[in-house]
Amino acid sequence: MNSTTRDQLLQLKPQVTFTVGNTADGGRTTPITLPYAAFDLIANHPIYPNATRYFPLRRAANDTQHTLGRTFLQEA
């Protein structure tokens, strides 16, 4: 993502909503909405030699894989 797109996203203030529950096939759920800014992170050394912005979401290997990461847990 380039800086122009990032600036536009920060200005638009989009949100990402996760719906979590204790079963995969119904039951009670809770929506957790986080601002885009929560995912606008910077990685430094030793991952990258220079400060590099990244969005900390990764596509799952399959439809049954669900992992909550540090950003979600820290912000929720």
Dist. CA 12–CA 75, nearest whole Å: 19
Q: Strands 41-43, 52-54: parallel, antiparallel or unpaired by DSSP?
A: antiparallel
pLDDT digits (tens, 9 = 90+) for 24-71: 777 899 999 999 999 899 999 998 899 988 888 778 888 887 777 888
Q: Is residue 51 part of a domain?
A: yes
Q: Is residue 22 part of a domain?
A: no
Q: Is residue 23 part of a domain?
A: no
Count of domains in the chain? 1
Domain interval for residue 40? 3-17+28-59+67-75
Token digits of residue 53: 């912005």
pTM above 0.85, yes or no: no
Task: Give 63's Cβ-side CA count (13 Å radius).
Answer: 1
- pLDDT of 23 > 90? The answer is no
